[in-house]
Amino acid sequence: MAFAITAVIGLAVGLLLKSGGATVAVVLVWSLVAEPALGAAGEWLLGVDIGARLPFIALSHFRGQPGGTPFPGGPYAAGLYVTVLAVGLLTAAIRPRERREP
């Protein structure tokens, strides 16, 4: 299930960028560099622990991987949260595409 959600996120980013290489680079940098950095520095920068609410960190909590801040509602709430974010991102990516193409 987690891989399907990640695929939807990748599809949405691909629709927005229209480049396969850029899509892979953005998703990998987002999930492996940006989110761990924001999760570690979130409380220091913003005064709020945002680590559990970042999509890929919440998805790893849904998969049952140890470490990090647990999602407030448990693993199933984390999965639902990331699914809603992925569907919202996909909807936002499809909408401008419908306006550009007949």
pLDDT at 76: 93
Global pTM? Answer: 0.83
The answer on pLDDT for 101 being more than 80 is no
**Nearest Cα residue to 7 out of 82, 92, 70:** 82
Residues in the chain: 102
Rounded distance between C-alpha atoms, residue 5 and residue 87, angstroms: 9
Other Cβ atoms within 10 Å of 23 Cβ, number: 18
Confidence of residue 99 (pLDDT cuts 50, 70, 90): low
What Rg value do the Cα atoms of the chain yield, rounded?
15
Convert the pLDDT of each residue in 40-60 to its tens digit. 887 777 777 788 888 998 888
Q: Which pLDDT tens digit goes with each residue over 60-82?
A: 889 888 777 788 888 999 999 99
User: pLDDT at position 25, please?
Assistant: 95
Q: Three-state secondary structure along 2-62?
A: HHHHHHHHHHHHHHHHCCHHHHHHHHHHHHHHHHHHHHHHHHHHHCCCCHHHCHHHHHHHH
Residue 94 has pLDDT above 80, yes or no: yes
Q: Is the pLDDT of residue 102 over 60?
A: no
